[in-house]
């Protein structure tokens, strides 16, 4: 067999690994052409912390979609919080999953009186007024978070889609809730190596785990798009693309024609 045939087989195998899901294009369009306030429309100068109820309220008032992060507490409550540890936002070097929700209620976000909200509180506040882009944080192999998040969202009447760096979360949705739009988060995760180790970071960086997730959209760091797998998803497979996190008007202007939707912070898009 010639080198050309071997090369062709390898390339086709590669394409099968990185391909997105195809039949959900119509549903995905509902989330395209929009701007999503990263962790809400927060403002440190106005004492509105990220992933707080006031930040989400400001996003709703200004008509922006909302990107937010969810994870579990020690007693299996779904809270809206980004970091694995509480050190940056609450001044205590403990992991969120090692605290009960009652214990978290004793803490405040930065130098404010605002608390870490439950996802149920955020859903009640937003009430379908703007679309939600929900990032599921899975620091471990357990997908319990997905099931508990799904229970909260089953009766929610608003529009929402799911994204995660951890492909296991997307695989859970592919198997259990194929009707929900899902997206693979990625970036240049190997410089430096992110959580999970080099091998897993390499697979996610080049979207090689798409064979498991079959995502509807790709959410990629806007600075890292010189990536063959990302470019093939965008231009060959025509997958929807989300840019994260646009942090200035210039970055927004530079990225405007390169992505379908935008996750932003630090200014109003």
| pLDDT tens-digit series, residues 65-123 | 999 999 999 999 999 999 999 999 999 999 999 999 999 999 999 989 999 999 999 99
State the sign of the Cα–Cα–Cα–Cα dihedral 88, 115, 267, 247.
positive
Residue 224 or 1, more confident: 224
Question: What confidence category does residue 2 fall into, taking pLDDT thresholds of 50, 70 and 90?
Answer: confident
Query: Above pLDDT 70, what percent of the chain?
Result: 99
> Does the pLDDT value for residue 24 go beyond 70?
no
Using DSSP's 3-state secondary structure scheme, residue 15 falls into helix
pLDDT of residue 45: 83
| pLDDT tens-digit series, residues 179-201 | 999 999 999 999 888 888 999 99
Number of H helices, E strands in the chain: 12, 9
The answer to whether the CB of 83 falls within 8 A of the CB of 149 is no
DSSP string for residues in 106-163: T--STTSS--PPBHHHHHHHHTTSS-EEEEEP-SSS--HHHHHHHHHHTT--S-EEEE
Query: Above pLDDT 90, what percent of the chain?
Result: 89
Ramachandran region, residue 60 (left: φ > 0; alpha: ψ -120 to 50; beta: rest): alpha
The domains of the chain, with CATH numbers, are 35-264 (3.20.20.190)
Taking residues 10-31, report their average pLDDT.
Answer: 90
Q: What is the mean pLDDT of the chain?
A: 95
Q: How far apart are CA 38 and CA 40, in angstroms?
A: 5
The H or E element that residue 186 is part of is strand 182-186
Q: How far apart are CA 205 and CA 189, in angstroms?
A: 6
Nearest to 243 by CA among 224, 232, 257, 259: 259
pLDDT of residue 5: 87
Using DSSP's 3-state secondary structure scheme, residue 206 falls into coil
Side-chain half-sphere CA neighbours of 92 within 13 A: 12
Q: How far apart are CA 99 and CA 136, in angstroms?
A: 18
Q: Is the whole model's pTM more than 0.75, yes or no? A: yes
pLDDT of residue 1: 65
Q: How far apart are CA 64 and CA 96, in angstroms?
A: 28
Say which residue the tokens 């079959």 belong to. 214
Q: How far apart are CA 51 and CA 49, in angstroms?
A: 7
Cα separation values, 198 from 105, 166, 201, Å: 36, 14, 5
Taking residues 227-250, report their average pLDDT.
Answer: 97
């Amino acid at each position: 067999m010639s080198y050309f045939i071997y090369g062709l087989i390898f390339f086709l195998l590669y394409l099968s690994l990185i391909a997105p899901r195809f039949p959900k294009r119509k549903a995905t369009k509902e989330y395209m052409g929009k701007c999503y306030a990263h962790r809400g429309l927060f403002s440190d100068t106005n004492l509105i912390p990220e992933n707080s109820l006031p930040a989400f309220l400001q996003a709703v008032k200004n008509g922006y979609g909302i990107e937010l992060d969810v994870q579990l507490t020690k007693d299996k409550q779904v809270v809206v919080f980004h970091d694995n540890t509480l050190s940056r936002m609450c001044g205590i070097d403990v992991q969120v999953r090692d605290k009960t929700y009652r214990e978290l209620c004793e803490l405040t976000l930065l130098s404010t009186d605002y608390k870490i909200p439950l996802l149920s509180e955020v859903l009640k506040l937003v009430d379908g007024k703007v679309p939600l882009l929900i990032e599921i944080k899975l620091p471990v192999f357990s997908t319990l978070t997905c099931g508990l998040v799904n229970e909260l969202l089953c009766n929610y009447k608003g529009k929402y889609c799911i994204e995660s760096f951890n492909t296991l979360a997307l695989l859970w949705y592919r198997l259990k809730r194929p009707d929900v739009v899902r997206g693979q988060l990625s970036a240049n995760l190997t410089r430096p190596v992110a959580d999970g180790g080099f091998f897993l970071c390499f697979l996610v960086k080049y979207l090689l785990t798409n064979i498991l997730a079959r995502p509807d959209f790709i959410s990629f760091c806007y600075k890292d798009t010189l990536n063959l797998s990302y470019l093939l998803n965008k231009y060959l497979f025509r997958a929807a693309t989300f840019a994260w996190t646009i942090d200035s008007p210039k970055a927004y202007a530079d990225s405007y024609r390169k992505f379908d939707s935008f996750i932003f912070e630090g200014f109003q898009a």
